Structure 1
Amino acid sequence: MSYLIGEGMTGGYGGADILHDCTIAAEKGEIAVIVGPNGAGKSTAMKAVFGMLNIHTGRVVLDGEDITELSPQERVGKGMAFVPQTNNVFPTMSVEENLEMGAFLRRDDISVTMEQVFELFPILGDKRRQNAGELSGGQRQQVAVGRALMTQPKLLMLDEPTAGVSPIVMDELFDRIIEVARTGISILMVEQNARQALNIADKGYVLVQGRNRFTDTGAALMANPEVRASFLGG
């Protein structure tokens, strides 16, 4: 079984179901990407994996343990970290204080992890005393990812990490995401920039109306004529 699997998930936010027998999985150290058209249920699938909405069919298993009934807070304790698309930093707190907030569950020395974050995102080290709200959009995204890494996660979930940033910043963020995966952390990412995301993905999921439409390696999906025509602009 995969390190993470949200298997046969059906559910939504209380009204009509948004997900329909949807399955998402990721292996250790693997980048798994969820793509699809607007309204396909991409972010909903990730939130279901993190326990932010109820699924009435299916289950979520992490490292062999069924965590379907656990709250998001309990899932953080199991090694999950979630970076939402918006409102993902504390704007009136410094970069360093934002990172410290990410380590609130820890009782050990966090300084080594913080230095690792600064090595991954050098600009954050330079601006560690500056309020996060004064940073550029791309820098705030780095703070949000860095804060999630402060939890020492086994699974990092990113909801549209490159939304609203320039192509140059997007490429840099993707490079850093690859570096994180190389440390053995599993990455589950929802991304609107499907072509660029599949280019770095070990595995890709194309969702349409809350259902799995295509599942394959990132390279295979990039080469699939139907995927290219329908979801990658030809």
Structure 2
Amino acid sequence: MSAATFLDARGMTGGYGAADILHDLTMTVAQGEIAVIVGPNGAGKSTAMKAVFGMLPLRAGSVTLDGQDITRLSPQERVARGMGFVPQVRNIFPSMTVQENLEMGAFLRRDDIHATMEQVYDLFPILRDKRHQSAGELSGGQRQQVAVGRALMTKPRLLMLDEPTAGVSPIVMDELFDRIIEVARTGISILMVEQNARQALEIADTGYVLVQGANRYTDTGAALLADPEVRKSFLGG
């Protein structure tokens, strides 16, 4: 892809305590690109995401965002620099309304948030209809929309999604992927961990197949889908 590299996470090595989970892991995401991390359970996919977001101390390696070294910054400081992160679980405030959840996403902002909120409602029309409803009363797919919408309220330039389609139906998964494509078209870079590897690679500009915390395959989504070794080992043939 010709777009400039926006996220450059290079040689990431680290873990929780003495044992390293990530081993010299490298991932880059260009502006407006969708990059997908896939691999077997226990491959370190979510750990890689946490390392990029500053939730995992690195023993080696670096993370740069838009040319700025952010390796030593806290997650909060990374949000201020333009990172948005949607964790897989506990990613909404269930007792708050949909609108209150979105407002919480803008807690770092000092400007008018209403235009961004309208953009989120345009992206996820069901949230406009249910904006006064408690988020905890929504379906799983709708709650994921709230979580993504809340992250978008920070006006991120890199949106990171950890298993956004976990536990939702195939129809809802397709709809979420369509919305993710729409977000990327606005120029926001996407880094996503996905269990539904085949479907995720179909929308990916770049795919990273991780095995035991290391890069096993890196290529375009289309090339990985066409690779017989990748298909046999990771996509069920």
How does the TM-score come out when normalised to structure 2? 0.98
Q: In 2, Cα distance between the equivalents of 1:83 and 1:110?
A: 19
Q: In 1, Cα distance between the equivalents of 2:55 and 2:16?
A: 9
Alpha-carbon offset, residue 5 of structure 1: 1.1
- CA deviations 1:33-67 (Å, max 9, x no partner) are 00000000000001000000111100000000000
Alpha-carbon offset, residue 13 of structure 1: 1.3
Q: In 2, Cα distance between the equivalents of 1:144 and 1:32?
A: 19
Q: In 2, Cα distance between the equivalents of 1:82 and 1:162?
A: 15
Q: In 2, Cα distance between the equivalents of 1:2 and 1:12?
A: 26
Q: In 2, Cα distance between the equivalents of 1:213 and 1:64?
A: 26
Letter in 1 for 2:141: G
Q: In structure 1, the residue corresponding to 2:142 is in which secondary structure?
A: helix
Look up the match of 2:103.
100
Look up the match of 1:47.
50
- CA deviations 1:122-178 (Å, max 9, x no partner) are 000000000000000000000000000000000000000000000000000000000
Q: Which runs of 5+ in 2 are unaligned?
A: none
Q: Within the alignment, does 1:70 sit opposite 2:73 as a pair?
A: yes
Q: Within the alignment, does 1:178 sit opposite 2:177 as a pair?
A: no
Look up the match of 1:27.
30
Alpha-carbon offset, residue 201 of structure 1: 0.1
Q: Which runs of 5+ in 1 are unaligned?
A: none
Q: In 2, Cα distance between the equivalents of 1:49 and 1:152?
A: 18
Matched ranges for 1:1-234 at <5 A: 2-234=5-237
Letter in 2 for 1:151: T
How many residues get paired? 234
Q: In structure 1, the residue corresponding to 2:26 is in which secondary structure?
A: strand
Letter in 2 for 1:204: G
Aligned-residue Cα RMSD (Å) equals 0.6
Q: In 2, Cα distance between the equivalents of 1:15 and 1:221?
A: 33
Alpha-carbon offset, residue 15 of structure 1: 2.9
